[in-house]
């Protein structure tokens, strides 16, 4: 990704972007578990306290493994495509057992029952990180919108709406990374940030509040918004 310095109000980033406490560490947003090696250069990072930086790891690992097993249609380290996920599954039989228990057969094929609180925990964490990184606007409150679904479940109208930038977008804080990107981009361009093709992309914009859209593995899509 392009290296941009945050030139916005530094008071907005002087605390953990997840809980509002300390800034002992810097956290990759997204976590590297969603990406493959070699990693892209200049990965987005956000200030985080030590507790938050460590507390999301198991849930992020769970979500990354769940998505890969769903995409590949099997819980088997020998069959999944991503080497990193294969390694995790091989090392963690308890996680494999948990994922297998979530499988069920249906007339539509193999389905997985996700642990929704863990999924929401990770997606909300990622959205908070993207909001502060791009807009210099931390979002510590609970969101007013949280929608999550596989891309393949969206009809064409929903998909077009999800991929497009709304017309009500306002100019972000001067000096923020988002404002810098707008200055040098085509005014009609939808500024999806592709961290790694086929693995992770996100879109952040301000309008009547802050909205973050995320797509993981070109499978799981979510939209999280604050007013």
pLDDT at res. 117? 96
The shares of helix, strand and coil residues in the chain, as percent rounded to the nearest 5, are 40, 20, 40
Which range (3-7, 79-83, 118-122, 181-185) has the least confidence? 181-185
Q: What is the pTM of this model?
A: 0.92
For the cut 90, the answer to whether the pLDDT of residue 189 exceeds it is: no
Q: Considering only CA atoms, which of 189, 213, 187 is closest in space to residue 200?
A: 213
| pLDDT tens-digit series, residues 90-140 | 999 999 999 999 988 877 677 899 999 999 999 999 999 999 999 999 999
Three-state DSSP class for 130?
helix
Percent share of the chain, pLDDT over 90: 75
């Amino acid at each position: 990704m392009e290296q941009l310095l945050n030139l916005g109000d530094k008071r907005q980033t002087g605390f953990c972007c997840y809980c509002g406490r300390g800034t002992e560490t810097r956290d990759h947003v997204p976590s590297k578990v969603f990406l493959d090696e070699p990693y892209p250069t200049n990965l987005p990072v956000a200030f985080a306290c030590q507790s938050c930086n460590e507390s999301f790891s198991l849930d992020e690992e769970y979500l990354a493994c769940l998505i890969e097993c769903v995409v590949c249609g099997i819980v088997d380290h020998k069959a999944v495509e991503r080497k990193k996920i294969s390694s995790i599954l091989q090392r963690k039989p308890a996680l494999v057992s948990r994922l297998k228990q979530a499988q069920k057969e249906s007339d539509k094929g193999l389905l997985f029952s996700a642990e929704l609180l863990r999924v929401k925990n990770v997606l909300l964490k990622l959205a908070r990180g993207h909001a502060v990184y791009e807009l210099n606007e931390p979002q510590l409150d609970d969101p007013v919108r949280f929608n999550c679904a596989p891309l393949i479940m969206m009809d064409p109208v929903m998909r077009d709406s999800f991929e497009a930038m709304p017309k009500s977008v306002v100019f972000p804080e001067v000096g923020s990374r988002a404002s810098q990107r707008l200055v040098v981009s085509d005014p009609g361009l939808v500024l999806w940030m592709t961290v790694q093709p086929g693995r992770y992309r996100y879109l952040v914009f301000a309008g009547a509040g802050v909205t973050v859209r995320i797509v993981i593995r070109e499978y799981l899509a979510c939209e999280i918004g604050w007013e």
